[in-house]
Amino acid sequence: MPVLENISTLYTCAAAGGQNEIHPVKDAALAWDDGLVTWVGPRDDIPTSLRDEERLDAGGRLALPGLVDCHTHLAFGGWRADEFEMRCRGTDYLEIARAGGGIASTMRHTRAASADDLLTRSRGFLRRMARLGVTTVECKSGYGLTAEDELKLLRVYAQLKEEQDMEIVATFLGAHIVPPEFREDREGYIALLIDELMPRIAGEGLAEFCDVFVEETAFSAEEARRIFGASRRHGLRGKLHADQLSDTGGAALAAEIGAVSADHLEQSNDEGIRALVEAGVVAVCLPLASLYLNQPPMPARRFIEAGADVAVATDFNPGSAPTYDLPLALMLACTMSRMTPAEAVKGATILAARAIGREHRVGSLEPGKRADFILVEAESVNHWLYHFRPGAVSDTFIKGKRITS
């Protein structure tokens, strides 16, 4: 039962208290056994039963729970660097999409990719995410958009879940866009999602959540209601890409259908925010997408002041957020969305775990939870996200094991 000591400050990130409360413990120690935390507290209080156990030295660094990236589109084919250049020159994201680029472009590359290719690439992404401090990753389908290609993506996630110590959570996002071959037959595509795909996904246990992109260019609120009605019958809880590019009442819809989270929310109105708070829906802030698309960020302060739980994630995908750097997203949540560093940290630990139904297992350092934690070379979380630099997360432990490559 290893005991890690010489931790200058350990932040348990336990759920209790407001978004800014991350529960620091000065001069702390942490013990675990068989991949689970057994004891956390001040070094002076280490119980006598642990006195003779193996000691590890944190070198005076900070310790935090492993970061939880609660919104990624991990598996996809190709990239879209050409579109990035077009956007740099001023072409609009939606203009590119209307010309057959955007999500449809990644869809073509994803359909052409083999499951093996997608698996190899995803493993590489996960490895690098772990080095940045990420230990739990939510992964969405949504670039296949045929029955077989959506199943291919979800099976890649099932394989990753099987072979990795990282916690992997799969979300079905067949309702990302209506694929071009169904442009004249939206009902036909929705029927494919509801009547064919959902029963197979539920039958094989391939996803826990169902996500819908609610936007003028994707799905209407009414279509989303029907999709969520069906997903509920199949035991898939709801998540939404809501109010990203325009206010479509996505926040209120998330509340209405009892979604576990509503993500993006850059354009939400006050009424939507209130409804979301009342329904206990986690609001997920995705500052990298706002930055890459040069759009106004999600007004996280308004959400927090209204009483919402705000999670922070990368939205890693080849279009609007082509980076998986969650610490960078945390810094941007501070500078763009006006969260404090402590609020951002709580948003990428216990509140992100809540956004994917994992708060009982990950997201805080408390006895019984997974021994997923990181060491950070900084004097406080304020200093970490203020003096932002590569490699500040020096060590990542997953289930009590240090990641070495």
The CA-atom distances, in angstroms, between 218 and each of 69, 190, 263, 393 are 24, 12, 15, 38
Comparison of 149 and 395: residue with beta carbon closer to Fe ion? 149
Nearer to ligand NIG, 69 or 315 (CB): 315
State which of positions 191-250 bind ligand NIG (CB under 6 A). Answer: 213, 241, 244
Check residue 317 for interaction with ligand NIG (CB under 6 A).
yes
| By the rule CB under 6 A, 139 interacts with ligand NIG | no
DSSP E strand stretches across 316-386 = 373-376
Residue whose CB is less far from Fe ion, 113 or 262? 262
Taking the complex as a whole, the smallest distance from the CB of residue 201 to ligand NIG amounts, in Å, to: 19
Q: How far, CA to CA in Å, does 257 sit from each of 70, 213, 224, 244, 268?
A: 20, 14, 10, 18, 17
Give which of Fe ion, ligand NIG, none residue 135 binds (C-beta under 5 to 8 Å, depending on kind).
none
Question: Is residue 319 part of the contact set for ligand NIG (CB under 6 A)?
Answer: yes
Q: Which CB sits closer to ligand NIG, 132 or 145? A: 145
Q: Contact between 372 and ligand NIG (CB under 6 A)? A: no
Amino acid of residue 293: L
Extended beta strands in 261-334, E state? 261-264, 282-285, 310-312
Closer residue to ligand NIG in complex, CB, 87/354: 87
Rounded least distance, CB 28 to ligand NIG, Å: 37
With CA atoms as reference, report the closest residue to 405 among 130, 57, 65: 130
Q: Does 315 bind ligand NIG (CB under 6 A)?
A: yes
Binding partner at 106 among ligand NIG, Fe ion, none, C-beta below 5 to 8 Å by kind? ligand NIG
Minimum gap (Å) between residue 284 Cβ and ligand NIG: 10
Q: Which is nearer to ligand NIG, 213 or 384 (CB)?
A: 213
Name which of 30 and 288 has its Cβ closer to ligand NIG. Answer: 288
The closest alpha carbon to 11, from 390, 285, 266, 381, belongs to 381
Select the residue whose beta carbon is closest to Fe ion and give its number: 315
Pick the stretch among 25-33, 59-67, 295-303, 318-326 that binds ligand NIG (CB under 6 A). Answer: 318-326
Residue with tokens 């391939």: 206
Measured between alpha carbons, how far is residue 3 from residues 24, 56, 283 in Å? Answer: 18, 6, 36
Helices and strands: H and E segment counts in the chain: 16, 16
Task: Pick the closest to residue 154 from 82, 109, 92, 209 (CA basis).
Answer: 209
Contact region with ligand NIG (CB under 6 A), list: 8-16, 197-205, 251-259, 316-324: 316-324
Amino acid 287 reads P
Q: How far is the CB of 381 from ligand NIG (least distance, A)?
A: 27
Does 102 engage in binding with ligand NIG (CB under 6 A)? yes
**250 and 271 Cβ atoms separated by less than 8 Å:** no
The site for ligand NIG, by CB under 6 A, has a size of 12
Q: Least CB distance from residue 86 to ligand NIG, whole Å?
A: 13
- Residues in contact with Fe ion by CB under 5 A are 315
Q: Do the bridges between strand 261-264 and strand 55-57 make them parallel or antiparallel, or are there none, so unpaired?
A: unpaired
- How many alpha carbons lie under 13 Å from residue 129 in its C-beta half-sphere? 33
Decide if residue 341 touches ligand NIG (CB under 6 A): no
Q: Convert 104-123 to b/e letters by CB count within 10 Å (16 or more is b).
A: bbbbbebbebeeeebbebbe
Using the minimum distance from each CB to Fe ion, give the nearer residue, 64 or 193: 193
Which one, 37 or 236, has the nearer CB to Fe ion?
236
How far does the chain reach from its first CA to its final CA, in angstroms?
23
Q: Is 300 helix (H, G, I), strand (E, B) or coil?
A: helix
Residue choice 38, 136, 320, 349 for contact with ligand NIG (CB under 6 A): 320
Binding positions for ligand NIG, rule: CB under 6 A: 102-103, 106, 213, 241, 244, 289, 315, 317-320
